[in-house]
Amino acid sequence: MRRQHTVEKIGGTSMSRFGEVLRNVIIGNRKGAELYNRLFVVSAYGGITNLLLENKKSGAPGVYGKFAAGDDGWIASLEEARAKMLEFNRSFATIGLDQREADNFVNERMDGIRDCLHDLVRLRSYGHFNIKTYLTPTRELLSAVGEAQSAFNSTLILQRHGINAQLIDLTGWKKDELLSFDEVIKQAFAGIDFSKVMPIITGYVKYDEGIMTRFDRGYSEIAFSKIAVLTEAREGIIHKEYHLSTGDPAIIGADKVKVIGHTNFDIADQLSDLDMEAIHSKASKEMELCGIPIRVKNAFEPEHPGTIISCDYVSPEPRVEMICGRNDLEAIEVVDPEMVGRVGYDYFLMQSFFDTGISYVTKTTNANTITHFVPKKNRRLDECVDLIHQRMPNATVRRSAVAIVSVIGSNMSIPGFLSKAAAALYQANINVLALSQATRQVNMQFIVSRSNYEAAIRALHKTFVEDI
C-alpha cells in the first residue's frame, strides 16, 4: 500500500522568494503533525545555475562554459556566482537565516571548487591529460553547489521556525563512494520517519552514471521523480511561480488564460518537447508507470488546487488544453532529387543529427524534401550542416529562423478542427510555413516566421479557449 507522504519540488524562481514560499507552501495554516509527511526537493536560487554553467536560454557561458573553453574568465565568473549566492543569503536575514553559518557554507564550497579547478588547469598545462576526461565531472561539481546552498539555507530557516527539518544533501560533496541512483536515494532515507521529520533535499544527486551526463539541466525534476517513486509517495507536487495554464499569460494576458485543472502524462510529454517545463518527460515517465499523479501548483496561490497530471485522464468533451510553442527554432531543409524512392534516405540524414547530439522538435517531408526544426541554441548546428553537405553532396541545404505554435489537447479528434485553426491564422494575416499533425491528434503544430509567433499564439488561443 502506498504511503501517505507527498514529494514536493520547489523551482528556482520560487526559491528566490523563499519568505513567501515559507508562508504559502511549507507552513501556511498547518500546525503540529500537519507539517509533516511532506518531502521537499529544492532547486538552486533563480539564476545561480546559469552563472555556474551557462545561460539556459541564450547559451552565454558561465563558469563551466569558460573553463571548458580554456578561458581564464572562469575565475571572475566563479566570484560573480559566489557574490550572487551571498546576496541571496543576505536577502533571507529577516526570515531567520543565520548569516554567518550560511556564508561559511557557501565560501567553503566555492573555495573548494576554485581550488579544484585551478588544479585541473595545472594538469591540462602538461598536455598529457585529455580535457574530455574531466569536463563531465567538472560540470557535475558545479551543478551541485547551487542546490546545496538552497537546501542548507532552507533547513536552517525552518529549524529557526520550530520545524524539525533535516538536510538531505545528495550532492556527494567530498565523498569518494559512487553508488547507483537508486542506492543513493534508499540509503539517504533509510530510517527517517516522515511523520516526524521534514526532509529538505538537494535537487542534485551524485551517483555513478552522473545525473548531468544523463539528463543535463532537467536533473532536479529527475531527482524529484526518483524520490517519489522509491519512497512510494501518494502524490508528487511541483510548485512553480505560475499555474499550468492554457497559454503564456505574458503573451496572451493574465485575464484571458485559464488554469488547465486536469490533464494526462501524454500532454505533459508534448509540453516538455516544447520546452514548457511542466515536467521533464523522463521524470514523468517513472511516476506514470508507478501510478503516482503529479500536481502542478502556483506557489503564490496556495489555496488553488492547481492542475493534476494523471495516467488515464481524457477530457470528457473535445477541447484544447493549451496553446504554446517555441520561437527559438531553426529549419534545416534538405532538398535532394536523389531522395525520391531511395530507401533509408532519412536514416542517413539523421546520422548527422545523431553524431552532433541534436534532437529535433518536429519534421516535415515530401518526395524530395525533408525539413527538421531544431532548437537554434545548439552550438553544433554548423557542424551538423557541414556533415549533411559531406554525406549528401548533391543536396541543397537551407537554414531559416522559424517559430512553432502548437495546439495541444487530450481530445481534439473532431471534424473541422484543422480548418478552424487555419482560419484563425488567416484572419490574423499569418502565413503558415509548414504544419505537422500525427494521427493521434493530441498536438497540431504550425510553423510560422518568428515575427508572427506571438500573434499566432493569441489568435489560436482566442479561437480555441476564449471564444468557447
Render 109-155 in DSSP notation, one character per residue: HHHHHHHHHHHHHHHHHTS-S-THHHHHHHHHHHHHHHHHHHHHHHH
For residue 173, being part of any structural domain is answered with: yes
Would you say residue 372 has pLDDT above 80? yes
Question: Would 106 be classed as within a structural domain?
Answer: yes
CATH number for 397: 3.30.2130.10
Same domain (yes/no): 93, 196: yes
Q: Which strands make up the sheet holding 38-42, listed edge to edge?
A: 165-168, 198-202, 38-42, 6-10, 235-240, 294-298, 307-310, 262-264
* Domain's final residue, options 224, 241, 258: 241
Is residue 264, in this structure, part of any structural domain at all?
A: no
Query: Which pTM does this prediction carry?
Result: 0.86
Relative to beta strand 369-375, strand 362-365 is antiparallel
Same structural domain, 62 and 196: yes
pLDDT at 329 over 90: yes
Residue 462: inside a domain, yes or no?
yes
Asked if residue 1 has pLDDT above 60, the reply is: no
Q: Are residues 228 and 330 in the same domain?
A: no
If you average pLDDT over residues 144-171, what whole number do you get? 97
User: pLDDT value at position 145?
Assistant: 97
pLDDT in tens, 260-317: 999 888 888 777 777 665 667 777 788 999 999 999 999 999 899 999 999 888 888 8
CA dist 74 and 72 (Å) reads: 5
203 within domain boundaries: yes
In the predicted structure, residue 182 carries a pLDDT above the cut 80: yes
In a domain, 333, yes or no: yes
Final residue in a domain of this structure, among 214, 241, 268: 241
- Helix-strand-coil split of the chain, %, nearest 5: 45, 20, 35
Segment 342-365 shows an average pLDDT of 90
Is the pLDDT at 398 greater than 70? The verdict is: yes
The x, y and z cell numbers of residue 132, run together, are 574530455
Q: Name the pLDDT band for 95 (thresholds 50, 70, 90).
A: very high
| Average pLDDT score over residue span 403-425 | 86
Q: Is pLDDT of 78 > 80?
A: yes
In a domain, 292, yes or no: no
Q: Over the chain, what is the mean pLDDT?
A: 91
**31-47 pLDDT tens trace:** 999 999 999 999 999 99
Check residue 127 and give its pLDDT.
76
Model confidence at 49: pLDDT above 90:
yes
In percent, how much of the chain has pLDDT > 90? 67
Same domain, 332 and 441: yes
154 grid coordinates: 532552507
Of all residues in the chain, what percent carry a pLDDT higher than 70? 98
The pLDDT-based confidence of 150 (bands split at 50, 70, 90) is very high
Domain count across the chain: 2
Cα distance between residue 340 and residue 466, in whole Å: 44
Chain position carrying cell 537551407: 398
User: Is there a domain that residue 313 lies in?
Assistant: no
Domain, as residue range, for 342: 322-466
441 in the same domain as 331: yes
Cα(308)–Cα(265) distance, rounded to whole angstroms?
A: 10
Q: What is the pLDDT of residue 16?
A: 96
Q: How far apart are the first and last CA of the chain?
A: 42
Q: Are residues 329 and 214 in the same domain?
A: no
Q: Identify whether residues 225 and 348 lie together within a single domain.
A: no
Nearest CA to 64 out of 253, 217, 248, 239 is that of 217
Using CA atoms, how far apart are residues 125 and 180, in angstroms rounded to an integer? 33
The pLDDT tens digits of the residues spanning 2-31 come to: 679 999 999 999 999 999 999 999 998 899
Look at 129-133, 297-301, 398-402 and tell me which has the smallest mean pLDDT.
129-133
C-alpha angle 173-163-302 in degrees, rounded to nearest 5: 100
Q: Looking at the structure, do residues 17 and 141 belong to the same domain, yes or no?
A: yes
pLDDT at 427 over 90: yes
pLDDT at 277: 58
Span 168-193, average pLDDT: 94
Residues 333 and 233 in one domain: no
Whether residue 200 sits in one domain with residue 60: yes
Residue range 212-233, pLDDT digits in tens: 888 777 789 899 999 999 999 9
Torsion, Cα of 367, 372, 373, 379 (10° steps): -150
94 with 186, same domain? yes
Q: What is the pLDDT of residue 237?
A: 96
Task: Give the CATH number, domain containing residue 105.
Answer: 3.40.1160.10
If pLDDT is split at 50, 70 and 90, which confidence band does 165 have? Answer: very high
Residue 440 confidence (pLDDT): 72
> Which of 217, 241, 265 is where one domain is finished?
241
The verdict on 79 and 213 lying in the same domain is yes
CB atoms within 10 A of CB 300: 18
